[in-house]
Amino acid sequence: MPALVLRLTLLALCGAAGAVLGVPELWVCLVAGAVVAGWPHPILLIAAIGTLVGMFAVGGELGWQLPVLVLLTHAALRIGVVADAVSWRARIEVAVLRDAVPGFLAVQAVAQGAAALALALEGAAPVPWLVVGAVAALAVLCWVVVGRLRRT
């Protein structure tokens, strides 16, 4: 696969994240995506994701957008790392991307669990034992997933 496909995927992921947030944010995310696609340096990736998270934190309530943004931002970070390691004219073996899928899915399982937990516990601060139990369940999920990931 040409490296250009990875860079265009970064732009598409940033655009999709902006579309999830709304029209004004879409343009900011497309500009950030264009910068990151042109130069997928880790610092720029973190700045783009930080901008996205900041826009979500300032403008939105928790809802269906949270799990989608968790997926999109994680995918952008993983693809950005590969895109940063290769030149514009490089070709990437699909097996390299395929081998990264189990780790990606393991991290997503924990991240989506945390997002679901955040949605379920929104406004549950008066019930501290519910929060403690939910965080303990998330810790067990993390332990199981990371343990399996380390064995593979």
Q: What is the pLDDT along the chain (152 residues), one digit of tens a residue?
A: 899 999 999 999 988 988 888 777 788 888 888 998 898 888 888 888 888 777 777 766 768 888 898 899 899 988 988 899 888 889 989 998 898 888 888 888 888 888 888 777 776 656 666 667 777 777 787 777 777 766 66
Structurally, how many domains does the chain consist of?
Answer: 2
- Residue where a domain stops, chosen among 68, 92, 116: 92
- For 19, the domain range is 1-92
Q: How far is CA 60 from the centre of its chain?
A: 17
Q: How far is CA 79 from CA 36, 58, 129, in A?
A: 11, 26, 38
Which residues face 91 on adjacent strands?
A: 2
User: For the whole model, what pTM was predicted?
Assistant: 0.79
> Same domain, yes or no, for 104 and 72?
no
> Same domain, yes or no, for 106 and 84?
no
Please report which residue ranges of 39-127 form alpha helices under DSSP H: 42-59, 65-85, 94-120
